[in-house]
């Protein structure tokens, strides 16, 4: 649309004698309820026209229609100038898109961005909340790559602490030397099983102590199991060989299980950080903060920062006994990540229950004078619920990621077989199809909603071949491949018909909008912009498919053009879905 911005700049200069930068002129796609293709909002320019918005729009529209060949017509709705572009203009735009081998990819920016996501605990399997986290982090990383950024995908694994010791202690006491091999359980499921066993046994001890006269608070502190778990943590921190060996063994089980789930989800990482390596970091930063007067020491020796002038609270950064608190470790890890990669932006994909924590973290780093602190960003997201209620973890009723993936594949199988179109598929092809559809349904459903919003996820609703779903878009892609296959289509010199149908223009308008949507999705770290774009494109293509004849038309030029239009649409659908981590299928 650069030519149109230039034309409007010339119109403003010719009509109102004002010189403006064409790059500052904003254009919008005309809303569907109005006639037109591109809308120019004139309200900011009435200070130059010295007249009302309607007259300003009318004057500019008349100039553009008379002077610019690509503008076929216009209409004015209050201060909105809706421009109708000529068929020749849209054919030229489509030709540029079709012949651009880099369409969908911005040039390299020479700028690094890190995304930290997943961040699991090694005492239990990944659950539905982790699924949204992983899919969101992976998708934003892919969107940023397509915008020309160099992206580092990082995973900070919480592999130490009292919660890990709970699983270890329960396995020691009740495990009878079970292993993933002896039980047939994935390693993360086996370790998670003992986390639940610990919690149940711990509650029994609490109840028994309360029955003997202790308060619940006293019982929670004095229960033998929690005391033993705390002693195990102390042994771990002291480097006890036996404790470290058990910890390494059980964590290895968990990592093997996590990797299977990550592979199923289609996510990956470039760099792993482990809290067992980073939990002592940050002490130097505390000393630095004291020296700079950013932190202050209380009489008991504890170290704090006063953030009340910033509308927050006082925050402890080192206990009186000299030990670190959680935010101390995060300060050190943030410094470590910057030292490792020197990125200009660092995103933390973490649920919205940690909003306050990240406000404090980023503000402290800024006050410490860290030049890179301005590039820190908390990509906050909402909870995922199922129709039958909220997830719970320690009670063993967590919505397990592996079970959810299996359910999605089973639902995809049922829904696909209802259509009766897989009879010619081999068993392996069917299995791959059900996996692709099931995962596409899951990913698309979770990513089509803006990250900050809470989601009610219904697996059955997500696997629907009609409506705003992943399978609908996958089906549209497969439909296009069928059309192209029947025509033995091979991209060649682009056919140029004399006239375009309205539905053809609607498809081209959306194809032309893709790069702007891609840029907006990156600026807002919002995969929903891509998801809803590809849905609109699929829906618009299906309208074109239902309205116009593709294969049986008498005019060969029109036929070849419509095949090219179909081919480019399929390519953009595939690119867009790929940014969501969603695969497409060649036939369905």
- DSSP code per residue over 566-579: HHHHHHHHHHHHHH
Question: Which segments of 223-274 does DSSP mark as H helices, in order?
Answer: 224-238, 241-265
Token pair in block for residue 537: 């494109």
pLDDT in tens, 479-507: 999 999 999 999 887 888 989 999 999 99
CB 561 within 8 A of CB 505: no
Hey, how many other C-beta atoms are within 10 angstroms of the C-beta on 44?
A: 11
Mean pLDDT of 356-373: 97
Report DSSP state, residue 374.
Answer: G
C-alpha distances out from residue 181 to 279, 326, 406, Å = 32, 35, 21
Which positions ≥6 away from 306 have C-beta within 8 Å? 296, 314
Please give the domain boundaries of the chain with CATH numbers for all domains.
Answer: 2-85 (3.30.1360.70), 161-254 (no CATH)
What's the average model confidence in pLDDT over 558-564?
95
Side-chain-side CA neighbours of 245 within 13 Å: the count stands at 4
Quick: pLDDT tens for 221-235. Answer: 999 999 999 999 999
Residue 459 pLDDT: 81
The whole-angstrom separation of Cα 533 and Cα 536 is 5
CA torsion sign for 477, 483, 488, 494 is negative
* Confidence category of residue 464, pLDDT binned at 50, 70, 90: confident
Average pLDDT (388-392) is 50
Report whether pLDDT(276) > 50. yes
Q: How far apart are CA 301 and CA 306, in angstroms?
A: 16
Residues 441 and 172: their CA atoms lie apart, in Å, by 41
Apex CA 125: angle with CA 124 and CA 130, to 5°?
115
pLDDT for position 543: 97
């Amino acid at each position: 649309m650069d030519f149109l911005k230039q034309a409007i700049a010339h119109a403003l200069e010719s009509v109102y004698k004002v010189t403006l930068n064409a790059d500052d002129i904003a254009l919008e796609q005309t809303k569907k309820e109005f006639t037109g293709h591109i809308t120019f909002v004139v309200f900011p320019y009435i200070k130059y026209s010295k007249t009302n918005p309607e007259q300003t729009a009318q004057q500019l529209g008349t100039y553009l229609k008379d002077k610019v060949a690509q503008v076929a017509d216009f209409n004015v709705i209050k201060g909105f100038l809706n421009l109708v572009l000529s068929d020749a203009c849209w054919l030229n735009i489509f030709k540029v898109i079709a012949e651009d081998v880099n369409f969908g990819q911005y040039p390299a920016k020479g700028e690094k961005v890190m995304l930290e996501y997943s961040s699991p605990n090694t005492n239990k399997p990944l659950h539905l909340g982790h699924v949204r986290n992983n899919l969101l982090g992976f998708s934003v990383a892919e969107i940023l790559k397509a915008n020309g950024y160099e992206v580092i995908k990082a995973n900070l694994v919480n592999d130490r602490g009292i919660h890990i010791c709970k699983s270890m202690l329960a396995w020691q006491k009740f495990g009878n030397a079970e292993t993933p091999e002896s039980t047939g359980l994935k390693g993360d499921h086996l370790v998670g099983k003992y986390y639940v066993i610990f919690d149940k046994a711990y509650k029994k001890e609490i109840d028994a102590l309360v029955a003997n006269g202790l308060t619940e608070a006293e019982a929670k502190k004095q229960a033998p199991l929690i005391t033993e778990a705390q002693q195990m943590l102390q042994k771990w921190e002291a480097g006890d060989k036996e404790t470290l060996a058990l910890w390494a063994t059980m964590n290895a089980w968990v990592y093997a299980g996590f990797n299977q789930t990550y592979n199923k989800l289609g996510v990956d990482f470039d760099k792993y950080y482990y809290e067992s390596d980073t939990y002592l970091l940050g002490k130097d930063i505390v000393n630095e903060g004291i020296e700079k007067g950013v932190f202050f020491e209380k009489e008991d020796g504890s170290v704090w920062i006063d953030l009340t002038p910033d509308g927050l609270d006082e925050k402890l950064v080192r206990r009186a006994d000299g030990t670190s608190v959680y935010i101390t470790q995060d300060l050190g890890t943030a410094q470590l990540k910057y030292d490792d990669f020197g990125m200009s932006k660092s995103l933390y994909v973490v649920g919205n229950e940690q909003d306050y924590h990240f406000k404090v973290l980023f503000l402290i780093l800024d006050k410490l004078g860290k030049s890179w602190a301005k590039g820190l960003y908390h990509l906050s997201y909402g909870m995922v619920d199922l129709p039958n209620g909220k997830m719970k973890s320690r009670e063993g009723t967590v919505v397990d990621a592996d079970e959810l993936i299996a359910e999605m594949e089973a639902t995809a199988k049922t829904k696909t077989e209802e259509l009766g179109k897989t009879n010619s598929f081999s068993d392996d092809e069917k299995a791959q199809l059900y996996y692709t559809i099931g995962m596409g349904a899951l990913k698309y459903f979770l990513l089509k909603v803006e990250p900050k919003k809470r989601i009610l996820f219904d697996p059955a609703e997500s696997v629907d071949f009609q409506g705003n779903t992943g399978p609908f878009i996958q089906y549209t892609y497969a439909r296009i491949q069928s059309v192209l296959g029947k025509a033995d289509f091979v991209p060649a010199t682009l056919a140029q018909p004399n006239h375009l149908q309205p539905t053809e223009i609607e498809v081209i308008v959306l194809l032309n909008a893709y790069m702007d949507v891609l840029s907006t999705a990156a600026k807002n770290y919002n995969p929903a912009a891509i998801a809803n774009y590809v849905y609109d494109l699929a829906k618009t293509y299906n309208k074109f498919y239902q309205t116009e004849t593709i294969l049986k038309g008498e005019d060969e030029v029109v036929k070849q053009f419509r095949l090219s239009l179909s081919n480019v649409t399929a390519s953009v659908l595939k690119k867009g879905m790929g940014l969501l981590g969603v695969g497409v299928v060649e036939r369905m």
